[in-house]
Amino acid sequence: MVGIVSFGGYIPRMRLSRAAVAKNMGWFAPALFGAARGERAMANWDEDCLTMAVASSLDALVGVDKTKLDGVYLASTTLPFSDRDNAGVVKSALNLRDDITSADFASSLKAGTTALMTALEVVKGGDKHRILVTASDKRRTKAASNEEMLFGDGSGSLVVGDDQVIAEYLGGYSTSIDFVDHYRGEETKFDYNWEQRWVRDEGFSKIYPTVFKGVIDKTGIAVGDITKMIFPCIFGRINAKLAGSVGAKPTQLADTLEAQVGECGAAHPLVMLARELETAKPGDLLMVAGFGQGATALMFRVTENILKLPARTGISGYLANKKTEEIYTKWLQYNNLIETDLGGRGDQDYRTGLSSLYRNRKYILGFVGGKCKVCGTAQIPAKRICVKPDCGAVDSLEEYEFADKPAKVVTFTADNLAASLDPPAIYGMIQFEGGGRTMTDFTDCSLDDIEVGVPMKMTFRINYQDPKRGFTGYFWKAAPAHSGKA
């Protein structure tokens, strides 16, 4: 049996109030007031599609032996590197084996469902047995645009395999049609969008029903037996009509999460599917679809194994723990829509030593330290000599992962002089459960959230950006453990 083995999701803690957008930009675009309901997920300044993909992947890997993964597929329309294996960065951050396949799926909003279908077909072929599929997007929009209200940031991840399957893959159907509802050129920052009515009537209204019917016919599933139809559509008012095109009822539609999250681009079908799997029961039939220059639809039947799945944060956990942001200029700052003065301390050349990055990739990307085989002392970063004074063994350390270890604050400070997009810069010393301590930046918190002894968790984030050379450097930061926890 081939299908989904595990699932996970990630929604940034910050949510931009749509009313705040209308309040600040309604003088320029009065139509914004008509969409000023709910909120959209807003990535922190140190988050992008890779950091969110790592977060949702960690959620999906709860209870999964990651040493058995044979591949990592990353889907996104906002990859930070045009000529670097972005999926390879995710693979390194998760500290997976080197002898696995990593691949990027890009350039279309259906990239997430395409990556999922590809992974399932590869596993069906028998050469690989477990593949991590993660989709993530952080799309930049023009201020006061319709897309600013509609879009959201987030990530969804699935592990597919041929054993311990929680949702059996029954079949899929895909079309490739060069229907250009929007596009983004290589040298442009923002999407160019075409007239909405035409996109709705000629695109969504004709292409989605084709793949719905295609997957239903291919699998032989009766429409009335489908528990949930899971598909994003920026024209929410026509969702019931789209489902009705194949005879489905509005009660069979999954929540699009538009009011709480917005639409997360290539990630949204997987985000919605992860959310539905949280409450799915054995026997449920789930159809998931993604739209973009054609469409892809897949059908799954939930198995008894879903009852054995360990608890995880999931989409619902991240939705429950949020911080609503009313300061619209912070949103503009975090998305490079305004240029602010960081002072002299922000005027630095962030050239990356690629040879040093390679030599230290286990520590920098995977947050791997060491544990002494002689005395059992854990330390990060790993050095040749054990840090325990009465041990001092040389070359005695074996690899030891810290990214998943709980920690507590030992010391901290708030620095108003340091260059920061979210002042004050908060950092300090944390002590890991099981041994080891390190100095690190704190994120997803204010000074009021931090005190000595506060539980912390590690999270993969942007460490710096080098705009001169187009390079993004990543590292691990500490966040209060309640962030993203139900």
Three-state SS for 224-260 is HHCCEEECCCCCHHHHHHHHHCCCCCHHHECCCCCCC
Residue 262 included in any domain: yes
CA distance 319 to 333: 23
Check whether residue 348 and residue 276 sit in a common domain: no
Check whether residue 348 and residue 289 sit in a common domain: no
Which CATH number does the domain housing residue 428 bear?
2.40.50
Check whether residue 117 and residue 8 sit in a common domain: yes
* CA dihedral over 274, 279, 280, 286, signed as positive or negative: negative
Radius of gyration of the chain (CA): 23
Q: Among the three residues 334, 362, 396, which one is the final residue of a domain in this structure? A: 334
pLDDT over threshold 60, residue 116: yes
Which CATH number does the domain housing residue 38 bear?
3.40.47.10
Residue 400 included in any domain: no
Mean pLDDT, the chain, rounded, equals 95
Check whether residue 314 and residue 420 sit in a common domain: no
Q: How confident is the model at residue 349 (pLDDT cuts 50, 70, 90)?
A: confident
Residue 113 included in any domain: yes
> Average pLDDT, stretch 415-438?
93
Check whether residue 450 and residue 470 sit in a common domain: yes
pLDDT at 187: 85
pTM for the model stands at 0.96
Check whether residue 104 and residue 230 sit in a common domain: yes
Condensed to tens digits (0 to 9), the pLDDT of residues 156-168 reads 999 999 999 999 9
Q: How confident is the model at residue 244 (pLDDT cuts 50, 70, 90)?
A: very high
Check whether residue 212 and residue 280 sit in a common domain: yes
Q: How confident is the model at residue 484 (pLDDT cuts 50, 70, 90)?
A: very low
Check whether residue 279 and residue 348 sit in a common domain: no
Residue 395 included in any domain: no
Check whether residue 186 and residue 282 sit in a common domain: yes
Q: Which domain holds residue 429?
A: 344-352+405-480
Query: How many angstroms separate the Cα of 391 from the Cα of each of 2, 376, 396, 433?
Result: 50, 10, 10, 20
Residue 481: count of CB within 10 angstroms of its CB: 15
pLDDT at 417: 86
Q: Among the three residues 334, 364, 384, which one is the final residue of a domain in this structure? A: 334
Check whether residue 181 and residue 328 sit in a common domain: yes
3-class secondary-structure state, position 429: strand
Condensed to tens digits (0 to 9), the pLDDT of residues 374-396 reads 999 999 999 999 999 999 999 99
pLDDT at 340: 84
Check whether residue 274 and residue 348 sit in a common domain: no
pLDDT over threshold 70, residue 214: yes
Peptide bond into 406 cis (omega under 30): no
Q: How confident is the model at residue 271 (pLDDT cuts 50, 70, 90)?
A: very high
Peptide bond into 250 cis (omega under 30): no
> Average pLDDT, stretch 404-419?
94
pLDDT over threshold 50, residue 483: no
Residue 343: count of CB within 10 angstroms of its CB: 10
pLDDT at 447: 93
Residue 383 included in any domain: no
Residue 390 included in any domain: no
Check whether residue 209 and residue 243 sit in a common domain: yes
> Average pLDDT, stretch 237-252?
95
Q: How confident is the model at residue 93 (pLDDT cuts 50, 70, 90)?
A: very high
Is 5 within 8 Å of 56 (Cβ atoms)? no
Task: Tally the domains of the chain.
Answer: 2
Backbone torsions φ then ψ of 438, nearest 5 degrees: -155, 155
> Average pLDDT, stretch 441-455?
95
pLDDT over threshold 60, residue 64: yes
Closest CA to 442 of 394, 467, 477: 477
For 163, the token pair is 């054993």
CA trace torsion 133, 483, 45, 185 (10° rounding)? 30
Kindly tell me the number of DSSP H helices and DSSP E strands found in the chain: 13, 22
Residue 439 included in any domain: yes
Query: What percent of the chain lies above the pLDDT cut of 70?
Result: 99
CA distance 233 to 219: 24
Closest CA to 363 of 383, 381, 387, 384: 381
Q: Among the three residues 304, 334, 364, which one is the final residue of a domain in this structure? A: 334
CA distance 88 to 78: 16
Residue 366 included in any domain: no
